[in-house]
Amino acid sequence: MRVVLDSNVFVSALLFGGVTSELVALWQKSDITLLLSRNILEEYFRVLAYPKFQLSKEEIRGIIEGEWLPFVEIIKPGIRLKVVKRDPSDDKFLECAVAGKANVLISGDKELLSLNRYHGVQILSPSQFLKEYFR
């Protein structure tokens, strides 16, 4: 199962409990393959640096390098999409998903979720994904 995580899902999975945190065990057991592009990685670093998370640069690097990066496949999207009207920066998740032949883009973003599917990539919330594939 090839999966792209949007920023909110990524942060929730690593920093908070609840349904989204169940994704961590799935990628650590290789039940899912996480797909990552450079643009997505840069956004993950930026989001983790938000003051509300109170993480040092060393803690952020430890999270990325220790708990996440060993489980990803790097994708270099050769396409630029213009699909997400309200927040065009979210197009990077679709670009990575399409280029990496992802099965699912897991998101909490209402505009992405409203697409349901894009070029063969199913777009699901974390709870929908877990319910459909792992419960």
Percentage of the residues of the chain whose pLDDT score is greater than 70? 96
**pLDDT value of position 78:** 76
Return the number of other C-beta atoms located less than 10 Å from residue 81's C-beta: 18
Residue 13 has pLDDT above 60, yes or no: yes
CA atoms within 13 A on the CB side of 66: 7
Percentage of the residues of the chain whose pLDDT score is greater than 90? 72
Q: What is the pLDDT of residues 56-71, one digit of tens each?
A: 999 999 988 888 888 9
- 117 pairs with which residues across the strands? 122
**pLDDT value of position 69:** 87
The string of DSSP letters for 21-72 reads GHHHHHHHTTSSEEEE-HHHHHHHHHHHTSGGG---HHHHHHIIIIIIGGGE
Closest by CA position to 9, among listed 104, 118, 135:
104
Question: Domain ranges in the chain?
Answer: 2-134
Mean of the pLDDT values across residues 44-54?
94
- pLDDT tier at 85 (50, 70, 90 boundaries)? low
At the fourth CATH level, the homologous superfamily of domain 2-134 is 5'-nuclease (3.40.50.1010)
Closest by CA position to 103, among listed 6, 33, 21:
33
